[in-house]
Amino acid sequence: MVYLTDELWFPPFEFATRDGLLAVGGDLSVDRLLLAYRSGIFPWYSEGEPILWWSPDPRMVLFPKRFKVSKSLLRIIQKNEFSITFNTAFTDVIRKCAAIEREGQADTWITNDMVDVYQKLHELGHAHSVEVWRDDKLVGGLYGIDLPEQKVFCGESMFSKESNASKVAFYYLIKKLKAEEYTIVDCQVHTLHLESLGAEEIPRTEFLNYLL
């Protein structure tokens, strides 16, 4: 395992542990985060811990053309019960993602420092959000890092205050990515929820080829 200093670099992925931990330390500067995502690396740690940088193998991804739209989700979309916006409430979305209670998790990996730097990334055009509204109330959404040159979107987190609201956000994200001919959505690590949406695991080396 590699311990980072203020120098702006990351070790090759071969240095990662079996569970994908690549490096510890460094900082959460805009430049380091952009280098990380463009290198297939992401931060994931809890408040009070040192910054942990990950590059897991295999990697959970979703190919937009393989997105699974269930009949129940399609019915919700067709009812037009929600209003959808992009990049109109980024800070609200990331804070609600941080605050939402998740089964099996005692706390959040979206620390206050992360909220601050992802807000900066949003202001610079690198981080995007999708918002789901009902009666002018934010009931769901997601955010992530956009790599337009590579046609890759790195999904970070999503939340729901109403049943299926996050899936609705994901539906409209994928619709937009398909229209813009994106090749892949980085989902980072396996979850059953992501698998139900059509995400799959691929070898890390294959994933990294999409970032070239």
pLDDT digits (tens, 9 = 90+) for 34-58: 999 999 999 999 888 999 999 999 9
Distance between the two ends of the chain, CA-based, in angstroms?
24
HSE of 58 in the Cβ direction (CA atoms, 13 Å)?
11
Please write the tens of the pLDDT for every residue from 74-99.
999 999 999 999 999 999 999 999 99
Q: Which tokens belong to 45? A: 């740690």
Range of the domain at 163: 60-209
pLDDT for the residue numbered 106:
47
SS (H, E, C) the chain: CEEECCCCCCCCHHHCCCCCEEEEECCCCHHHHHHHHHCCCEECCCCCCCCEEECCCCEEEECHHHCCCCHHHHHHHHHCCCEEEECCCHHHHHHHHHHCCCCCCCCCCCCHHHHHHHHHHHHCCCEEEEEEEECCEEEEEEEEEEECCCCEEEEEEEEECCCCHHHHHHHHHHHHHHHCCCCEEEEECCCHHHHHCCCEEECHHHHHHCCC
The C-alpha angle 189, 99, 138, rounded to 5 degrees, equals 100
CB 171 within 8 A of CB 73: yes
Residue 106 shares a structural domain with residue 168: yes
Same domain for 50 and 79, yes or no, is no
Query: Do residue 42 and residue 87 come from a single domain?
Result: no
Token representation of residue 69: 């739209």
67 — phi, psi (to 5°)?
A: -60, 130
Rounded CA separation 50/180 (Å): 37
Same-domain pairing of 121 and 177: yes
CATH of the domain at 19: 3.30.70.3550
User: Which CATH number covers residue 88?
Assistant: 3.40.630.70
For residues 179 and 191, membership in a common domain is answered with yes
In total, how many domains does the chain have? 2
Average pLDDT value over all residues in the chain: 95
pLDDT for residue 100 = 83
How far apart are the C-alpha atoms of 14 and 20, rounded to whole Å? 10
pLDDT value, residue 88? 98
In this predicted structure, what is the pLDDT of residue 103?
Answer: 57
The answer to whether residues 161 and 68 belong to one domain is: yes
Residue type, 89: A
The CA–CA distances, whole Å, from 20 to 23, 33, 170, 186 equal 9, 17, 26, 15
Q: Which two tokens stand for residue 122?
A: 């949003």
- The mean pLDDT values, 10 residues at a time, for the chain of 212 residues are 94 96 97 98 93 98 97 95 97 95 62 96 98 97 98 97 96 98 97 95 98 96
